[in-house]
Chains A and B, each alone.
Chain A
Amino acid sequence: MKRFFALLSLILCNIFTYAQQPSNVEMADTMRSSGKIYVVIGVICIVFIGLAIYLFSIDRRLKKIEKGN
């Protein structure tokens, strides 16, 4: 597990080394610079965490029923 996290942190290190490519193609830079993209990420994360917890709770209830049978 320790080695896994060490590997993960090493992999994620190179995120910060990317240089911006100069180009005229339109991207959502303004949204990103004003910080609003993080709001979207937050919303998506909340939705997904909710769904994950819900799935885990279904799994647990099912386990109880299986033990009862």
Chain B
Amino acid sequence: MKFIYQTWWKALAVLLIFSTLITGLLLPVPRLAILHETIRNLYFHVPMWMGMLSVFVISVVFSVMYLNTGKEEYDLASVECVNTGLLFYALGLVSGMLWAKYTWGEFWSGDPKQNSAAIAFLLYCAYLVLRNSIDEEQKRGKISAIYNIFAFPIMVVLIFVLPRMTDSLHPGNGGNPAFGKYDLDNGMRIAFYPAMAGWSLLAIWIATIRYRIRLIEYKRNSID
């Protein structure tokens, strides 16, 4: 885990996102009814979910590693990844709500995508509540690691699979056009892929900062 102390990938994250701030707003986009210029949200709203997904995947990996080795550090890394993921989760939800207000007419219209995203959000909130309600260190680590491993696939199904099988209004669901169709015949890739990579790296960066703080706290507490 030497790389979390290195700077190059943090600078890369900033550079990638910075480039998409310019290209994402200036490059030509497909002219589509209803969406209009909000199609550019693809560069700013969707990467929030990508950032969330990245840290959640890392969190699951650390949970598995914790169950294998019983090292407390892995448990701390896992929980801090979830904490950071929930920040990006909230950003994705709120930015999506703002978009929905001006595209669907309501901040919250009970769309399948919105509803299942809310359920999955509560699922991860329950993880933190469960975790904080157990005092004993090893028990807490084990139970929360197992919960985390099961919560992840349920979250993926709720957010990315179920809304696609019903009549969701969200782009990409229920016969609505998704970005995949456009970025193949347009220049949207130039802004979209760096945005996905950049925001993922930024999410990981924030998670590593939280983990390092947590590690210092943990070492301090164990000395006392």
Contact = CB atoms under 8 A, between A and B. Distances in A.
A63 B36 contact: no
* A interface majority secondary structure: helix
Interface in A3-40: 11-12, 14-15, 18, 20-21, 23, 25-28, 37, 40
A56 B26 contact: no
Contacts, number: 64
Interface string B8-30: 00100010011001110111101
A49 B7 CA distance: 16
A20 to B, nearest CB: 7
A28 B37 contact: yes
A58 B209 contact: yes
Nearest to B40: A28
A18 B14 CA distance: 27
B209 to A, nearest CB: 6
Q: Bin chain A's interface residue count.
A: 20 to 34
B23 A15 contact: yes
B209 A41 contact: no
B219 A69 contact: yes
Nearest to B208: A59
Contacts of B28: 18, 20-21
Given A28-B37, A48-B18, A55-B205, A18 B25 contact: no
A69 B220 CA distance: 9
B25 A62 contact: no
A38 B73 CA distance: 46
B31 interface: yes
A27 B27 CA distance: 13
26 contacts: A14-B187, A15-B23, A15-B190, A18-B27, A18-B28, A20-B28, A21-B30, A25-B31, A25-B33, A26-B36, A27-B31, A28-B36, A37-B25, A37-B26, A41-B21, A41-B26, A44-B25, A45-B18, A45-B21, A49-B18, A55-B206, A58-B209, A59-B7, A62-B212, A63-B5, A69-B219
List of 9 A-B pairs having minimum Cβ-Cβ separation, nearest first: A25-B31, A52-B14, A23-B31, A18-B28, A28-B37, A41-B25, A44-B21, A62-B212, A45-B21
